[in-house]
Amino acid sequence: MVGAPWGSSGGGAGLRRPRRRVRGQPAGGVDTSLVRWEKAGRLGLYFVEMGAAPRPIDVLYDRAHSTMALAAAGAFDWAGLADTQFFHVSGITLALSDSSREVARRAMEEAKGRGASVTMDVNYRQRLWGREAAAEAVRDVAPLVDVLVATAEDARDLFGADGVEQLQAALGVETVVLTLGAAGAIASRGGTTVRRGGHAVETIDRVGAGDAFVAGLIWGLVDGSLELGLERGLAMSALKMTLHGDLFRLDAGDVAALLAKDHREVGR
């Protein structure tokens, strides 16, 4: 089994039982023991208005002055990163505040110092910050990143890169992965390019599909294979879109079944 600790800062002002919500994460194999709880402060929120083509999903963020946005790098016990294989950072953390950017950078430095590989999803959100600020922040931490994930749209809009090799050259990251929507994903590492196609999906809910992809990618990397990471990531992303909510509530068997195409429209 692969352990997946989650490091964050949480507060509960205005919410009922926020700790119970977080403590429910272990059901999905997520260790929440590294989450810092503040006696005062608020948990960041976002609100989603669902949409279907041609109307997009609309998201409103309420993250200002949350405990994570106000967190200081010195408040975390970085020793908890010991024995970490892969440490993942979302670009959304960089967007929240100057202090959250410093927390993310410090965490990446601490993880690399303990021998971990650092993965990062650019995760650009235009309602949190502008393109220039986002691009500058990603460039600043790029030397600490071993595996960078971005959508083709973010690569183009933030860095002027029209392909995976261009983005890799622009940021100097060893491994770069571009997600291509329904067309799948492409990765570049050490002069070699790997591409995998997507899966046909009847979409129920797109929220969380990107995170599911990254989870599958890292799962493959833990097993030593970038190719397998792309395949698992695309399978998990497709499966997530068949579920309501932003959590991937399936297991490895479901992923294996899709990859083996051992499934029927009605499971019986």
What phi, psi does 121 have (nearest 5°)? -105, 125
Report CA-CA distances (Å) from 123 to 71, 81, 189, 200, 210.
Answer: 20, 23, 21, 24, 9
Using alpha carbons, select from 173, 128, 175, 180 the residue that is nearest to residue 154. Answer: 180
pLDDT of residue 267: 44
pTM of the model: 0.86
What are the pLDDT digits (tens) for 143-198? 999 999 999 999 999 999 999 999 999 999 999 999 999 999 999 999 999 999 99
pLDDT tier at 136, thresholds 50, 70, 90:
very high
CA-only gyration radius of the chain, Å:
18
Q: Bigger pLDDT: 10 or 240?
A: 240
Q: Does pLDDT of 93 surpass 60? A: yes
Q: Is 211 a catalytic residue?
A: yes
What are the pLDDT digits (tens) for 198-221? 999 999 998 999 999 999 999 999
Domain boundaries, the chain: 72-259
What phi, psi does 151 have (nearest 5°)? -75, 155
What are the pLDDT digits (tens) for 45-69? 888 888 877 888 888 888 888 888 8
**Average pLDDT rounded to a whole number, residues 113-121:** 97
Cα 128 from Cα 133, distance rounded (Å): 10
Averaged pLDDT of the chain: 87
What are the pLDDT digits (tens) for 21-38? 455 455 567 777 777 777
Dihedral sign computed on CA atoms, order 107, 111, 113, 114: positive
Residues recorded for the chain: 268
pLDDT of residue 262: 46
CATH of 72-259, one of 3.40.50.10420, 3.30.1600.10, 3.40.1190.20, 3.30.70.980: 3.40.1190.20
pLDDT of residue 127: 93
Residue of 157, 211, 246, 262 with catalytic role? 211
Q: Specify the residue for token string 């505040």.
A: 97
